[in-house]
Chains A and B, each alone.
Chain A
């Protein structure tokens, strides 16, 4: 190594930093500082007026002692499971069944359109459909079908389930699209070879398509876990977490504590808790998936 090359590298890096600086500054300013501030707030008592007062771990203690916190956590986990089962599951089915069909692109359009709506709009529309005496109840009564008296949004866990279905109506399309892209990127040769060997139907899917689709599945499932942990808008629009907090998710609890009760400390504690489990879930999941990918399908040796 001569001094010249080292000098060159340094000056190159220096100008790189100069270019990187403004971007990095903005990220620090609008992303990391607010996170740090939220961490700080979670250890204080603060009503949004005046100055925060340090309170130690009191907010975290209050949080875990609140029985509604458990309800909220359970509902959030139902959302995670439900979002994996329905929007991801059906998204895969839609993508796989329509793949290679003539005019499949047009077939997927109706599934994709709802994704253009905001979660709040979906929530308000489905709120009117599912309210007591709403469109669904009226339709069921008109057709003399059972269920017209069901209080869809007022009984737990039914309300969480129907809200997941409403969210699925919106989410299936984009998952199907991601899976379609994944299916398109699978090389044709191994599939043809499998077909020649006599694989078809379920066996072809289970042993050929599914393993080859793993990169897409990792993305879709990872996104789904993160998004469902953060569920807020659709619940806030449809039930506000009610009645009497039975359909609350962690996102809704955070909003209620922070903005309805002006208890910024407690709200921040919920936010931090939620962030930790979200980051933990994604890191664990993605690392596991990448580890599987690294061993080129040789799953037997990786767990050693």
Chain B
């Protein structure tokens, strides 16, 4: 009797789930014009850019932006299990891209890269960042070098010039500090807590930096401790802005309270938003290495990839857009909109500041690029490191316990991911 009573309930439940399933089916399209769904974690103006692509290749972007990084990643990962996976989405290179490739979730872009490299649209060194086991995945929206933004007016006021060596930069910092201005921007939390660790470690020993990110070196290595102590020394001298402040660095600079901000070249469009102009208000210089005997000066790079989901119904459209974004026409338009440095050498930078910076960075034999800490470090170690660095900045003191905290997580990670 009871079973018979339950039957209608079960039937109803099945019917309800059947409805849900049938709602989610749709068809794959191989159309190469139309509207492309673009899921991203960047607050950039894709709407304006969509007009350029609409004119050029008859594809427009339907962009949805997630401000919260974990929510964005969870959404993208969930979408792969459905047929609503995006035709184009932003992601991160390094460990995070490896994870997707391992599961065969992103479309192969090897042929697009082959053409782009052959046509001289992009440097071969960038291709390495997009290569997993010999094949390429995703394409770059932009490739950004990390430079130091400085307040030209403040520098002029105290008779300072853009430094070319670490020693010069430190003496500039001493002058600024004496005049009540925070020399360098620093911030705790996710994502920016890694910035000074990266600058100091790569500037001291780039090989050690690379070994740390591949698990060959330990965070408790005496050489890493020494680097942390340089950081501590700068903290104690008061060379950093308050890591607990939520005031945007560009606002702090505009208020004349902050002189230097280390960021990627993408930062130009942000600093513009408070009305600071390149050339007259701010300039950039390459961040000098602490240890000049390394030969080449290390320059951090990061790149914003756009990827196409392997099972997306808009795969063809997404790949077409990816290829187009790398062309000099698209890169010139993109650079003009973002005020950044285009990676395509045939495209032109929008401002003289970046034309000059681009030339400087292209000086043969002078600079060596390395992948930014945020992408180079496996995710779990990164999360822990950002917390530990924030703790270290908040209460500057003996770095040992913070490094031990990171290494504990690193040990567990590398044990199962060698």
Contacts and interface: CB of A to CB of B under 8 A. Distances in A.
A260 B242 contact: no
B16 A242 contact: no
A242 B245 contact: no
Interface string B2-23: 0001001101110011001000
Contacts of A127: 246
Interface string A120-147: 0000000110011110000000000000
Name the interface size band of chain A.
35 or more
B307 interface: no
Nearest to B7: A17
Interface string A176-212: 0000000000000000000000000000000000000
B13 A25 contact: yes
B33 interface: no
A24 interface: yes
B118 interface: no
Interface stretch (B71-79, B206-214, B287-295, B343-351): B71-79
A260 B245 CA distance: 22
A47 B99 contact: yes
Contacts of A49: 77, 80, 99-100, 102-103, 105
Given A240-B190, A242-B387, A154 B394 contact: yes
A244 B244 CA distance: 12
Nearest to B388: A244
B77 A48 contact: yes
A242 B70 CA distance: 16
Given A49-B105, A244-B388, A256-B383, A153 B244 contact: yes
A68 to B, nearest CB: 9
Contact of B391 (A17, A20, A24, A243): A243
A28 interface: yes
B246 A259 contact: no
- Most chain B CB atoms below 10 A, which of A17, A243, A258: A243
Contact of B73 (A28, A244, A245, A262): A262
Nearest to A24: B9
A154 B190 contact: no
Given A25-B16, A244-B390, A260-B190, A48 B242 contact: no
A11 to B, nearest CB: 11
Interface of B: 1, 5, 8-9, 11-13, 16-17, 20, 69-71, 73-74, 77-78, 80, 99-100, 102-103, 105, 188-190, 242, 244-247, 379-380, 383, 387-388, 390-394, 402
24 contacts: A13-B5, A14-B5, A21-B9, A24-B9, A29-B16, A48-B74, A48-B77, A49-B77, A50-B102, A131-B244, A131-B245, A133-B247, A154-B244, A242-B188, A242-B387, A243-B390, A243-B393, A243-B394, A244-B388, A244-B390, A245-B391, A255-B70, A261-B383, A262-B73
